[in-house]
Amino acid sequence: MLIGITMGDASGIGPELILRAFKEDSLEGDFIVIGDYKILDYCGRLLNIETPFNIIQDVSEYKDGMLNIYDMGLMDESMLEIGQISKTSGCAAYRYVERATEMALDGLIHAIVTLPMNKEATRLSFPDFTGHTELIAQVCDQDNYTMMLASDRLVVTHVSTHVSMQEAIAAVKKERVLKVIELTHNSLSPFIEKPKIAVAGLNPHAGEGGAFGREEIDEILPAVHSARELGINAVGPVSPDTVFLKAVNKEYHAVVCMYHDQGHIPIKLLDFEGGVNVTLGLKVIRTSVDHGTAFDIAYKGIASPESFVNANNFARQMLGLA
C-alpha cells in the first residue's frame, strides 16, 4: 500500500523533514511525496543532503530505493521565502493537500501524511482556510469528523477545533459529543478491548452541578448516557482540571475534549515532538505531525523528524501494515 506525504509550506521545515527522514531510512513502507521537486532539490543542496530523486506524474512510475516526488510544479527556489509568511508557499501547500486527498479518494494512494502548513500564509489565497482537517473534509464532502492527537502518554479527541471560543461553546451539543465519543471508540477498538473513554466537562469543575453552567447537565451527560447504551465504555463529564492527570495515570485510554486548546495544551506539554495528529471519520486515512512550520529554524538542518516518523508509523497501523 502506498502512502502520500504532502510537503507542507515550503517556507517551513517540511522539505527538510522529508529529506532527513529519507536519508536516515526512518520511514517504513512505500510512499510518495506530493509537492515540488525543485524546492526539495534546493533544500537538499543547501543542507548537503544527497538524495536520489525520482520525479513522477503517475504512481505507476514509482521506483524502489529513491525518493519518489509527485511533482506539482508550483514553486522553484526563486519563489522561496525561507522562514517567512509567503502567499506563494501557502497557496502551494493548500494545493498539495487538495491533490493528495483527490488521489486517496481515487485509490491511487491509501493514506495521507501531512507536513505543516501556515494558516496565515494559506489564508492570503484562501481566506476561509482553517486547517488541514477541515480542508480534507471539504474535499471528501463530509462534515462528521474529528481531530485526534495521540502520543504514548495521552490520546485526546475534540468536539470542535479551529473556531472561536464562542463558537466552541455553542458546538457542545449532545449529538456532536456523542459522535466524537463514537469516533474515538471506533478508532481505539482495533487496538484496545473496550477502551475506557473519559468525556471532559466544558466548565470549571464540570459545571459543579449547574453552578458554573448547564452544558454538562443538558448536553454532555446525555451524550455519555447514550454512548453507554451503545455499549461504549464512556464516563463523564469529568472535571477538565483532573481528567488529563487521570488519563496519563492510565485510568482512561482517551479523553474527549470540548474545544481545541483543552486537548492541545496537555498533549503538547507532554510530547511536543512525538505527538501525532489523526483525522477520524473521513473516507481517507490522514495523519500528521503535531507541530507547525517552525519558520525560525527552517532550512537550518536542526528540525526533529520524530513526529513525522510517528505519523507515518500511525498511518501504517491504521492500514494494518504495522
Domain-wise residue ranges, the chain: 1-142+282-322, 146-271
Residue 172 CA to residue 159 CA, distance in Å, equals 7
Asked if 274 and 149 count as a contact pair (C-beta separation under 8 A), the reply is no
**What's the burial of 103, exposed, middle or buried (CB within 10 Å: 0-12/13-18/19+)?**
buried
The answer to whether 1-142+282-322 and 146-271 have equal CATH topology is: yes
Instruction: For 234, list phi and psi in degrees, rounded to 5.
Output: -110, 145
- Residue 322 pLDDT: 62
- For each successive 10 residues of the chain (322 residues), what is the average pLDDT? 97 97 94 98 97 96 97 97 98 98 97 96 96 92 89 93 93 97 93 94 92 94 98 97 96 97 93 82 91 95 93 90 70
- Residue 321 pLDDT: 77
Helix H segments across the chain? 14-23, 37-46, 87-105, 119-123, 132-140, 165-170, 174-188, 215, 221-229, 243-248, 260-271, 306-318
- Residue 78 pLDDT: 96
- Residue 91 pLDDT: 98
Alpha-carbon distances of 287 from 85, 124, 167, rounded to whole Å: 24, 25, 25
Residue 286 CA to residue 3 CA, distance in Å, equals 10
Cell representation of residue 157: 479527541
CATH class of 1-142+282-322: alpha beta
Considering the domain delimited by 146-271, tell me its CATH architecture: 3-Layer(aba) Sandwich (3.40)
What is the widest separation between alpha-carbon atoms in the chain?
Answer: 63
